[in-house]
Structure 1
Amino acid sequence: MNHQLTVQFRSRPEVLERILRVTRHRGFAVTEMDMRYPSANAGVMKLTVCSQRSIQLLQHQLLKLVDVNECQVAQLETMQASATA
């Protein structure tokens, strides 16, 4: 099952590696990724991941990272509607 996450984080050199490591260790495969830095000290990453595991498991683990400020799961109805349009 595919899920989309939006992760807001503090801009640090190692934060990308930490987010991807947690994602992999929790049994999720990254199928799409978009990362932007709207300011010098903050970044936003949109991840599309695939797994049979609960997306809340990954969300809670990412929120434990010290550099992650926010992690939101996109509504599945929104993702399905955009895929059919």
Structure 2
Amino acid sequence: MDSVTKIRKDLEGCIGKTVILRANKGRKRIVVREGILESAYPNLFVVKIANEYDSIRRVSYTYSDVLTSTVEVTICEEEQEENVKIS
């Protein structure tokens, strides 16, 4: 099993959980967002983000973004108060 397939399987098992995304937008700009992992498709995954203005936004990233460390995904485990980082 290759790395992209492993990342996809890990994320598919976490659908519905809260995640923290840390995305590198280039030129030393890092964006950190918290949302809910909504769905995982064969080539990308979607995270639903609610902001302070009560609008819901969906962002999508590819599994290769995680593989190349452009995006770091941290799964928040509520019951254990422990975070699991997928990379």
**TM exceeding 0.5:** no
Bigger proportion of residues as strand: 2
Tell me which of the two structures has the higher relative contact order, counting C-alpha pairs closer than 8 angstroms and 6 or more residues apart: 1
Alignment TM class, shorter chain as reference = 0.3 to 0.5
TM-score by length of 1: 0.37
Bigger proportion of residues as helix: 1
TM-score by length of 2: 0.37
